[in-house]
Structures are given as structure tokens and as C-alpha cells.
Structure 1
Amino acid sequence: MPRPLNPREIETFRAVLQTGTTTAAAQLLHTTQPSVSRLLAQMQAAAGLKLFDIHKGRLRPTPEAMELYATVQQHFLGRERIERQLAVLRQSGAGGLRIGCTPALGLSVLPPVVQRFAQRHPGVHLSLQTLGTLALREGLHNGHFDCVVSTMALATPDFDATVLHHSHAVCVMHPDHALATRAALQVQDLRGQLLLTLNADDDIFLQLQRTMQSHGIEPSATIETTTSANICRLAAQGLGVGVVNPYVASVFARDLCVLALHPLCAVEVVLAVPPRLALSERAETFVQLLREELAQLPAERV
């Protein structure tokens, strides 16, 4: 009566086909020749097929046996690939690492983190893409990133977000600017100034706009641009006063006067990951290095 084959029978069948004799198969399997012959007989009975015959004292596989062997080989080769892949994963983790971030963080906080990560994993391909927040959300939702780091809110029902660092926005201007002699700026100091701003959907801009409106403050004019780095470069040219996150301001600090602004505009570094997929070991390492880098920074600017 046919029955399902057990793993030991299949392994023995494969060894006999590989080596050509029951004696050689027994050596390969570290067992005895009678044990191999017994398992082959059991397998034939279970399969309900003639798999071998004896010709001039030698064991010969039937065509049915050869077709079955081809399928068995695919199974074992698949297992071997699994073992090889496990060895690779144990050594270096899954695939590459895909990080998405806002331009300000890609210019300021992330480079030293990438440098330390590359030292630990010299053979790993790392992709660091700097994009706007909307593109980062879409990329994470569509599986294009392992994690995303932003200075704008990222929490949605589609993924989890964690605040890694709290700080406050700062004012940047040319060192010769009339306001550069102050220890810090009040929002009233921006009255009548040429203001360098980000786009209207930026968190810092929205906070600043609300604060200025509540105090009845109007700038003389505004220059709107897409990145905090652009604001810093424009400020370094003496064009006006910009309000940016402190991370990017630190990159251009040699060319700028950087002052705290009151009332405070909150800035947060946010990490977002897909909620239904655990981080790889590489991604966990990267996040830990990022946490360590941020821990070295002031928690706030007052």
C-alpha cells in the first residue's frame, strides 16, 4: 500500500543515485550497507513503484527512479541554498541597507553615522536618499526604504514613528548682520527683516508663521526656497535672516551667526519604520549608531 516517503528514505535514495552502489551510499551516510538496502526496499514499497533492478550483480535505477531523482535533487539543492543563505545572513545580514532622510539630516547628522556603519560593514551596499517628507512617506509605504529619518512629522497608520532627538529652531544670518550682536533673538526682532523661509508645508515655517502672526510681526519681504541648506547659503551671502533646524545650521556655522529664537520653535528628529516588518540586523545597527550620534548633540537650544 503506497504511503508518503519519510526523509530518511529519500536521503538514502538520493545517496544511492549519487554514488551508484549501496556500499558507497552507506559510507556517504555513515551507516551500514544492509541498512541502506533495507531503506531502499521500504521506499520502493511505500512508493508503489519499481525503482531499481539488479543486472549482473549491480543495482540499476529505472526511468521512474531517474525522474523521481530529478525532483529530489531540486529539493535538496533548495535546502543547500537555504543553508548557504543562512550562513550569509549570519555573517552580514540581509541584502543592502536603504535609508531615506530629509536633505538637512543627509547633510548634517547622517554622514558620520554612515561613516561608522561603513567601518563595521565594509562590504555592504548602503543607499542614502535625501528627499522631501512626502516622497519619504511614499517610499517607506511602497517598501523602498528600510527606515526613514526626518525633521518633520512622519506618523501615519501605515508605519511607526519614534522621536530620537528634541531641539529648537535657530536663526542664521551673516556675521555682519545688524542682529548678529544679540545673544539671542525674539520673534519681534524679525519685524521688517528680509526673511529666508522654507516652503509653506514645512513644520518650522508653520510654527514661525503662527508665532509671527500672533505677535503681529511682518517681514519686509521673504525669499522662499526648498531646503535649509539653501537658506544657510543665502544667509551667508548677507541676504537676510533665516530660521532653520540646528542640525543643518551647524554645518554652515563657520560662515554664519547662529542665534536662538524665542518663543521656541520645536524641532524633532523622527525615525519611521514599516510596522509589519522587523528591522534587519544591519538596520538595527544603523539606528543604534544614529542614536549614539544624536546623543552627543545638545538636547535643546535656548
Structure 2
Amino acid sequence: MNIQHFAAFRAVMMTGTVSGAAEILGRSQPAVSRLLDRLEAELGLALFERRKGLITPTPQAHRLLDEVERAYVSLDSLKNLASRLAKGQGNQVSVAVLPALGLSFMPRVIAKFRQDWPETKVSLNVRMSPTVEEWVAGQQVDFGFAEMPVRRSGFETEIFSNAPYVAAVPSGHELADRSCLMPEDLREGPLISWTPFVAARHLLDQVLVTSGVRIEALCETSLSGAAFEMVKQGLGIAIVDPYTAVLQADERIRLIPFRPAIPFNLALLRPEFRGSPPTVDHMLSFARDLRDDVLARVPT
């Protein structure tokens, strides 16, 4: 497959027009149109609907774009590495982590790491767990953190932690003085829940159903960090991961154990067939140290 064909396709999808793509690529509009025609012929797919000078991407085009973007991530990584090697700067650590660790935990790990390795470039990619798995399996990063259970293969898996989620309650809430919260206590909410796309949502729903508790959440989010901020604003009660709870601790929020415990099963993923340089091992040692410190502060 000719990468120029995909470059033209990607540019059109980004700009929405052939003329915009031509300007980005430094080519004429007819040249870009020919590249698109050749790509469609090569793939045997109609990627665009053409009407009165306008082109509209088909559903197949949007699906293809997802894969093309992944390919470009790999190409960009390859270009950056080649450039750094050419300059004699081969040290780099690339990481992909789920948001629960990407917003507070890993920045602190990186800050500690940089004290010992100030010349090493660090690339922190914050993605949802399925994408983290995909990037590690594709050898695009040195390691990743994702929520278990993992769904792919192609990497080594190590349990990083399994501390439970905790309840975050506004400090002025009537439940703030409780030593622990039970499912029926969440009726006193309002409850801030996860969206259905988050694995923990299904675990919480299962706990509520088993306990015979039915609650309609007034707010939903896919991120513990966002849920935690909503609690700060007094919007209700949330069940959040322990890393977010401890590292974003705030006097406006009381952290309370939740029973029955819902484990936040976190895995360290490392690519198969990829060496582990000292920089990676060093960063992971800081990650484990901070993990131990965080989990020691989780209310039990």
C-alpha cells in the first residue's frame, strides 16, 4: 500500500475538503483526487460520496481513519526515535496509562524520575484502558497501566495493585461522619456514577443489585478525576479509585471506605520481545514507591 494514498485520505478527513487537503500536502486538487481514487480502487471500498463538488465520508471511511491514525502514531514514534538517535539522544521512555494514573500519579513519578535522568525524554500518553492495551501490544510504548481484566495478548501482565475504590463525600454531607458506607447509604446521595462504558460501573451496579438497592444517578462521568471534582462542588457522592482519592485529597471531601469492597484491579503491561532499559526500570521503581505510599493512605 502506498503511504501517499493514506496521507491524502487522512488530510481530507482532517480538513473536510479536497482543497484543504491539497493545501496541507502541497499538491494540486486534481492530484489529491487521483490519490483518493487510487486508494479506493486499491481497497475496493467507496470512502467518499461525491455530490456537486462536495465529498462526504462514508461510515467505512471513519472506521478506516481510526486505523490510519494508529499507524501515524507508530510512524511519528519512529521518526522521533530516528531523529533522537541521529542527534545521539537515544534515551527515551514512552508510557501509556489510564486516566486514574495519568492525571496525578504519573506526573509525580516523572518529576522524581527526572531528578536522576534529566536528559531522558518522557512521553506520557493518557488513554482509556483498551487503548493502553493496544499500544503496549503494538510495541508503541515501553510500558502501560490499565484496569483489569485485560482483553488482549501480546504483552506481559503483572498485577500492580488491587486496592478498593473509596467513597468521596462532601465534608458537609450528613454521611461525612460515617466510618464506612454501604450500598443503601448511597440513597442519601445524590450519586455521581460512571458512564456505562467504564468497567467499574458494572461492578458498582452489580453490588447495588445484589444489595437490593436501586439508585438513579443524576450525574455520570467516565473519569474518577471529574467525579472527584463534582464532589468538591457539592454535587453528590462518588465512588472513586484510590489514586485519585489520595493524590487529589481536598479538605472539602471526606474519604470513607465502601463496603462491600470494589477492587480497583490495576495491571502493569510490558511489551513482549522488547528490552527493558535501565531508564524504564528506574521509572517503574519510582512508580512502585509512590504506589506503596498512596495505598498506605487509603482509608480502610
Same fold? TM cut 0.5: yes
Look up the equivalent residue of 1:253 and give its one-letter code.
A
- The 3-state SS of whatever aligns with 1:184 is coil
2:77 is matched with which residue?
Answer: none
1:114 to 110, 117, 131: 110
Contact 2:255-2:299 at 8 Å conserved across structures: no
**Per the alignment, do residues 228 and 152 of structure 1 end up closer, same or farther by CA in structure 2, a change over 3 Å counting?**
farther
Contact 2:224–2:244 at 8 Å: present in 1 too? yes
**Kept after mapping to 1: 8 A contact 2:224/2:240:** yes
| 8 Å contact kept, 1:99–1:145 | yes
Say whether the 8 Å CA contact 2:144–2:270 is kept in structure 1.
Answer: yes
1:70-219, aligned counterparts within 5 Å?
Answer: 94-154=90-150, 156-191=152-187, 193-219=189-215
- Point out the more displaced range, 287-296 or 209-218: 287-296
Give the count of matched residue pairs: 212
TM-score if structure 2 supplies the norm length? Answer: 0.65
Q: Does 1:274 align with 2:271?
A: yes
The answer to whether the 8 A contact 2:171-2:253 is kept is yes
Deviation at 1:146, TM superposition (A): 0.9
CA contact (8 A) 2:163 2:265 kept: yes
Which residues of structure 2 form unaligned runs of 5+? 1-84
Name the stretch that deviates more: 167-176 or 139-148.
139-148
114-123 or 215-224, larger mean C-alpha shift: 215-224
Match of 1:11 in 2: none
Aligned to 1:295: 292
Distance 1:187 1:244, change over 3 A: same
CA separation of 1:250 and 1:168: change in aligned 2, threshold 3 A: same
Distance 2:150 2:120 in 1: 27
Report if aligned partners of 2:95, 2:142 keep a CA contact under 8 Å in 1: yes
Kindly state the Cα deviation for residue 284 of structure 1 after the two structures are TM-superposed: 1.3
In 2, the alpha carbon distance for the partners of 1:158 and 1:243 equals 32
Give the conservation status (yes or no) of the 8 Å contact 1:105–1:150.
no
Q: Give the secondary structure class of the aligned counterpart of 1:200.
A: coil
- Please name the residue that 2:237 is paired with: 241
What CA distance in whole angstroms lies between the structure 1 residues aligned with 2:254 and 2:278? 41
Which residue of 1 is the match for residue 21 of structure 2? none
In structure 2, relative to structure 1, the CA distance for the partners of 1:155 and 1:273 (3 Å cut) is farther
User: Are the counterparts in 1 of residues 191 and 217 from structure 2 also a CA contact under 8 Å?
Assistant: yes
Q: Identity of aligned pairs, percent? A: 22
Distance 1:238 1:172 in 2: 11
Question: In angstroms, what is the RMSD of aligned CA positions?
Answer: 2.0
Q: Distance in 1 between matches of 2:202 and 2:152?
A: 19
How do 1:248-263 and structure 2 match up within 5 A? 248-254=244-250, 255-263=252-260
The structure 2 residue matched to 1:228, chosen from 220, 224, 230, is 224
C-alpha separation in 2, matches of 1:283 and 1:174: 39
DSSP 3-state at the match of 1:262: coil
8 Å contact from structure 1 (residues 155, 161) kept in 2: no
Larger radius of gyration: 1
2:96–2:145 contact (8 Å) kept in structure 1: yes
CA offset digits 1:79-118 (Å, max 9, x no partner): xxxxxx8xx7xxx8x5311011111212232222111111
Secondary structure of the equivalent of 2:131?
A: helix
Taking a change above 3 Å as real, the CA distance of residues 122 and 288 of structure 1, as seen in their structure-2 partners, is same
In structure 2, distance between residues paired with 1:140 and 1:118: 23
Question: Are the aligned partners of 2:105 and 2:247 in contact in 1 as well (CA < 8 Å)?
Answer: no
Q: How far apart are 1:207 and its partner, in Å?
A: 1.4
Q: TM-score, structure 1 length as denominator? A: 0.65
Contact 2:136 2:144 (8 Å CA) reproduced: yes
Shift of 1:193: 2.8
SS at match of 2:267: strand
Shift of 1:135: 1.6
Deviations 1:134-168 (A, max 9, x none): 22122222222110013443363221111122211
Q: 1:108 to 1:269 in 2, by over 3 A?
A: farther
Greater mean alpha carbon deviation, residues 165-174 or residues 258-267: 165-174
